[in-house]
Structure 1
C-alpha cells in the first residue's frame, strides 16, 4: 500500500521536472480525471495540457481550466471539443494535437459510465458505455503512439478496472445480442478487452509505460448516480484523494518501464507488471495479479482475436465516415 502522504510527496516533486511536459486528458471534465488534471496543472512547470470536453460540458470545463490558469500562469491549457464516445471524434482530437505537438509525455484516459438505463447505440453502432471505456481509449492510444514514442519517458494512465478482467464472450465481443448485454457485462468486457489490447501495445512498444488503474469506489457524480440503481459501495475514496493517487500512478518511476519522471519514493520498490507487460494497479497503487485469467486468454490467442476485432471496428467506422463524406459532397 502506498500512503497518501507518499503520493503527495512524490507529486510535489513534479515541479522539479523539465519544463514543457505535454499531456492529454480524455474524461477530465469531472470526477477522477478532473482531479488528476487539476493536480498535474498545479504541479507541472510550464506544461502544455489538452483536455477533451463534450459540447454540453464545454462552458463548465472552460471555467475549470480558467481557474487552473490562474493557479499556474505558466501552464497552457487547451480545450478540445469532442464527444469521447465516438471513434471518429477521437480521430479529430488526435489530428489537432499532432498538428501542434511533436511529443506527448502523458496520456490520461478516464471517460466512462455504466448504462443503467439500457443500451442505446451511438451513430457508429457501438454501445457508448463500451465505446468510452474501450474503443475510444484504444483508438487514442494507437493513434498517439508516434508522439508518445518521441517523449523521454512516455506514460499512459487508463482509469478503469485493471485486475478485474474476466472471461469474454468470444462469439459476441461487442455484445450486440440483447441476451448477452447488461450494464455489468459491458463493464467487464470493456475492461478485459482494454487490458488485452494495452498489453499488445506494450509488447510492441517496450519503452512505453502503461498503467491500468482500478481506483475502487470513488465519491463521484457517477457513483452517486449509481446509488439510484442500488449500488452503494462502502469505503468510498474522495475525488481529491483519487486525483492525487492518479497523478502519482501516472508520474512516479515506480510505474515506469524506464526512469525519467519522478524517482520512486525511497523504500517503495518497483511495481510488478502483468505477463503482458503493463501495470495493473489496485486503489492504493499496489500491483494486482490476475494472471489466472489473463495468461489463459493469451495462451489461447484471445488477445489477438480482440485486437483483430477492434481493428475491424475501426476500419468499418472509417469506411462509413468516408462514405458519408462523399455523399455530403455530391
Structure 2
C-alpha cells in the first residue's frame, strides 16, 4: 500500500522538475479526472495543459480553468470542445493539439460512465458507455503516438482510469456487444476493461518508451458514484475525490511506475520498489497503488492471439467512424 502522505509528498516534488510538461486530460470535467487536473496544475512548473469538454460542460469547465490560471499563472490552459462519446471526435482533439505541440508527456484518460438506463447508440452505431471507456481512449493513444514518442521525458505516461486488474470474461464472438442478449451495463463495463487492457498491452509492446498504467481506483465519491447510488449501487467507505485525484497524479508522475531505463519525472519514493508490470507490459494497479496480477486470464488470451483479434476489430470500428458527425456524450468518472 502506498500511503496518502507518500503520494502527497511525491506530487509536491513535481515543482522541482523542468518546466513545460505537456499533458492532455480526457475526462477532467468532473470526478477523478478533474481532481487529477487540479493537483497537476497546483504542483507542475509552467505546465502546458489541454483538456476536453463536451459542449454541455464547456462553461463550467472554463470556469474551472479560470481558477487554475489564477492559482498557477505560469501554466497555459487550453480547452478543446469535443464529444468523446464519438470516436471521430478524438481525431479533432488530436488535430488541435498537433497544431500547437510537437510532443505530449502525459496522456490522462478517465472519461466514462455506466449505462444504467440501457444502451442508446450514438450516430456511429456504438454504445457510448463502451466508446468513452474503450474506443475513444484507444483511438487517442493510437493517434497521439508520434507526440508521445517525442516526449521530453524518457518515458511518456499513459494513464487509463477504469478497472485494471479486474478484467473478466470476454465475449469474443460479439466484441461490441451488438446482440441485445449480450449487452448489459455490467457486461459493457467488463468488456471495455478487458479489451482495454489487451489493447494497451499491445501498444506497450510495440512502443517500449511508453509507460502505461491501467488503474482500478475502486469506489470514489464522484458524481458518477452518486448516480450509481440511485440504481442500488452504494459501496461502503468510498475514497474521496480529492484523494482519488492525488493518487491518480502519483501514478502519472512517479518513477515507481516506469519501464526499465525510463523515468524522468518524480523519483521513486524511498522504501518503495518499482511496481511490477503485467505479462503484457503495462502496470495494472489497485486502488492503493500496488500492482495486481490477472495473468490467469490475460496470459491465455495472449497465447491464443485474442489481443490481436481485439485490435483488428477495433481498427475496423475506427475506420467506420472516421467521418461521422457529432452526438451527445454522458457523465464522466
**How does the TM-score come out when normalised to structure 2?**
0.95
Provide the rounded CA distance (Å) in 1 between the counterparts of 2:321 and 2:252: 31
* 1:32-51 paired onto structure 2 within 5 Å: 32-51=32-51
Q: SS at 2:99's partner residue?
A: helix
| Deviations 1:279-304, CA, capped at 9 Å, x for gaps | 00000000000000100111111101
Structure 1 runs (4+) greater than 2 angstroms displaced = none
Provide the rounded CA distance (Å) in 2 between the counterparts of 1:259 and 1:51: 24
Q: CA deviation at 1:167?
A: 2.2
Q: Residue 211 of structure 2 is aligned with which of 209, 234, 255?
A: 209
Q: CA deviation at 1:137?
A: 0.2
Aligned residues: 321
Are positions 1:304 and 2:308 aligned together?
A: yes
Provide the rounded CA distance (Å) in 1 between the counterparts of 2:223 and 2:282: 29
Q: CA deviation at 1:259?
A: 1.5
Are positions 1:293 and 2:297 aligned together?
A: yes
Q: SS at 1:100's partner residue?
A: coil
Q: SS at 1:261's partner residue?
A: coil
2:28 touches 2:52 (CA, 8 Å); kept in 1? yes
Q: SS at 1:129's partner residue?
A: helix
Provide the rounded CA distance (Å) in 2 between the counterparts of 1:119 and 1:102: 38
2:123 touches 2:324 (CA, 8 Å); kept in 1? no
Ranges in structure 2 where 5+ consecutive residues have no aligned partner: 326-333
2:124 touches 2:324 (CA, 8 Å); kept in 1? no
**2:331 match:** none
Are positions 1:316 and 2:320 aligned together?
A: yes
**1:283 match:** 287
* 1:73-84 paired onto structure 2 within 5 Å: 73-84=73-84
Ranges in structure 1 where 5+ consecutive residues have no aligned partner: 323-330
Are positions 1:274 and 2:288 aligned together?
A: no
| Deviations 1:125-172, CA, capped at 9 Å, x for gaps | 110000000000000000000000011220001100000111211110
Cα RMSD after superposing both structures: 0.8
**2:135 match:** 135
Are positions 1:238 and 2:240 aligned together?
A: yes
Q: Residue 185 of structure 2 is aligned with which of 183, 186, 191?
A: 183
Q: CA deviation at 1:317?
A: 1.4
**1:62 match:** 62
**2:2 match:** 2
Provide the rounded CA distance (Å) in 2 between the counterparts of 1:228 and 1:103: 42
Q: Residue 249 of structure 2 is aligned with which of 247, 267, 270?
A: 247
Provide the rounded CA distance (Å) in 2 between the counterparts of 1:222 and 1:259: 33
Q: SS at 1:200's partner residue?
A: helix
Q: SS at 1:70's partner residue?
A: helix
Provide the rounded CA distance (Å) in 2 between the counterparts of 1:205 and 1:226: 37
Provide the rounded CA distance (Å) in 1 between the counterparts of 2:135 and 2:162: 13
Provide the rounded CA distance (Å) in 1 between the counterparts of 2:296 and 2:236: 27
